[in-house]
Amino acid sequence: MTTGLTEQEIIRRNSLNEIIRLGINPYPPETFEVNVRAAEIKKYFPGNNTLYQQASIAGRIMSRRIMGAASFMELQDESGRIQLYVKRDDICPGEDKTLYNTVFKKLLDIGDIIGVTGFVFITQMGEITIHVKSLVLLSKSLRPLPIVKEKEDEVFDAFTDPEQRYRQRYVDMIVNPEVRAVFVKRNVLQNSMRNYLNAKSYLEVETPVLQPLYGGAAARPFKTFHNTLDMTLYLRIANELYLKRLIVGGYDGVYEFSKDFRNEGMDRFHNPEFTQMELYVAYKDYEWMMDLVEEMVEKIALDLHGTTQVQVGDNLIDFKRPWKRFTMFEAIEHFTGVDISNKSEEELGLVARALDVPVDRTMAKGKIIDQIFGEKCEPFLIQPTFITDYPVEMSPLAKKHRTKTGLVERFEAICNGKELCNAFSELNDPIDQRERFESQLELGKRGDDESMVLDEDFLRALEFGMPPTAGLGIGIDRLTMIMTNSASIQDVLFFPQMRPEKQKTNHLVE
């Protein structure tokens, strides 16, 4: 007896049992040699119809039309779809027609994975097709796919519900092949960035994910416990402090594609697990790093699209250098009409309230300025723009500005209304760094749960001497969203974090 199964799932399990009864292994252990992909055939066969006369291809059945002794199917592999023509006497040359009459016509389903060999031709309807000479079942699908149906030019039953798509990404990628294309572009993006940095002889490294102290950013961490060491550890919120230790150790340029974790809110721009590329280069400053970011991101756009112009929603964004530059105070004055450059914490609170920007008593001067900028400026910065010269209170790891008192040498690149990257002339004065950490501890006492902790080992590393250094953190997920015109961070993550799935009746066979 079967329980908790749909009617279709029961039918498929009965088909599975019948296939096994006929002596066919529905999950055979042997390899199947593939020598061509669907997209390759469609690209090259029209120009030379002598090609692919011994094609061997595997993939998933996506549609089929049974017509007596001959049938058509559509097979989907990683590259796309191609039509198959299956003739009974070809795949069953002897007297026994069981493979075709029973297995092929009755027991195979949409979603099953098969391997076929044959030759390519063009039908009278002009469709590039593989004439199948042999067919083998490679994997029986026990659940029906949510195949899109059309009636009177109206699409229905499409697999479009976001929660289902993100939770069952494997199904999403089967029935919505354009989803796979996004992740191919993400890979091209990361390789473009990696090739750019490697060409400059910077060293790609790995640093700890589990850390005894979290640092390098203003964020709440995830906490865990190591039994053997009998100690609390944190999932890293950034890898900055470890990469700077490597600069102290003598490397001139290091970078890492890192998985970071922040125990914060979730929305279409934030996932608790995300990817950053952080880069640190000795003997450079933030002005130099701005030039690098412009050059690198322009290259990524060209590698992905062949142009610096990228359509993102309703906006055509141009990554061609040079990008616009504002100081933070200039940007706030530009968008609000208020000059906040010399205002006290109390005055800033009054300005924020006058601008309807929410603030509370836990927010010190830097956080209030950040809140004003985030509410009144950031959403309106669509074209790539550098925001520079932040208040020292906002940037405990950045070097003080060489000419502007009270500011630090920091920039963020803003694009399509969101932060794309963050960079500093790194603070390498261990005495100043200790004072900044101590100021962060005071903010924590006021209730700021995103304030940084004091890292004695990092301070010890700085006391051995760190050369002047430029540092960069660039969000790979955000950049991928922009470069693939994706509206949500969940669209560029294979498996975004989800709330627990509501319990359903288990699928059991008794």
Domain boundary assignment for the chain: 2-145, 178-323+383-492
Predicted local distance difference test score (pLDDT) of residue 162: 86
**Calpha distance 173→181 (Å, rounded):** 9
Predicted local distance difference test score (pLDDT) of residue 509: 39
Helix axes 345-354, 365-376, angle to 10 degrees: 20
For 320-343, b/e burial (b = at least 16 CB within 10 A) is: eeebeebbbbbbbbebbebebeeb
Residue 272 above 70 pLDDT? yes
Compute the average pLDDT of residues 170-183: 93
**Calpha distance 61→84 (Å, rounded):** 10
Compute the average pLDDT of residues 126-139: 96
Predicted local distance difference test score (pLDDT) of residue 503: 67
pLDDT in tens, 315-341: 999 999 999 999 999 999 999 999 999
Q: How many residues does the chain have?
A: 510
Predicted local distance difference test score (pLDDT) of residue 46: 94
**Calpha distance 20→380 (Å, rounded):** 62
Rounded to the nearest angstrom, the gap between the alpha carbon of residue 378 and the centroid of all alpha carbons in its chain is 22
Number of other CB atoms surrounding residue 98 within 10 Å: 12
Band the pLDDT of 358: cuts 50, 70, 90: very high
The dihedral through the CA atoms of 25, 30, 35, 36 has a sign that is positive
Predicted local distance difference test score (pLDDT) of residue 99: 82
pLDDT, averaged across the chain = 92
* Structure tokens belonging to residue 366: 């830097």
Predicted local distance difference test score (pLDDT) of residue 504: 60
**Calpha distance 214→122 (Å, rounded):** 62
Compute the average pLDDT of residues 234-244: 96
Domain 2-145 class in CATH: mainly beta
Lowest mean pLDDT among 97-101, 113-117, 444-448: 444-448
**Residue 345 φ/ψ, nearest 5 degrees:** -60, -45
Q: Which of 207, 267, 196, 266 is nearest to 237 (CA)?
A: 207
Using a pLDDT cut of 70, give the percent of the chain over it: 95
Band the pLDDT of 238: cuts 50, 70, 90: very high
Predicted local distance difference test score (pLDDT) of residue 184: 96
Lowest mean pLDDT among 252-256, 396-400, 470-474: 396-400
Compute the average pLDDT of residues 99-112: 91
Nearby residues of 350 by Cβ (< 8 Å), 6 or more positions away? none
Band the pLDDT of 148: cuts 50, 70, 90: low
Number of other CB atoms surrounding residue 147 within 10 Å: 14
Predicted local distance difference test score (pLDDT) of residue 508: 40
Identical fold for domains 2-145 and 178-323+383-492, yes or no, is no
Q: Find the largest Cα–Cα distance for the chain.
A: 94
**Calpha distance 279→285 (Å, rounded):** 12
Compute the average pLDDT of residues 144-161: 68
Residue 441 above 60 pLDDT? yes
Predicted local distance difference test score (pLDDT) of residue 151: 58
Q: Which of 419, 420, 383, 413 is nearest to 309 (CA)?
A: 383
Q: Which of 309, 322, 297 is nearest to 192 (CA)?
A: 297
Residue 510 above 70 pLDDT? no
Compute the average pLDDT of residues 229-252: 96
**Calpha distance 110→140 (Å, rounded):** 10
Residue 417 above 80 pLDDT? yes
439 vs 75 pLDDT, higher one? 75
Band the pLDDT of 507: cuts 50, 70, 90: very low
Q: Which of 100, 110, 96, 111 is nearest to 67 (CA)?
A: 100
Compute the average pLDDT of residues 251-273: 94
Does the domain at 178-323+383-492 match CATH 3.30.930.10? Answer given as yes
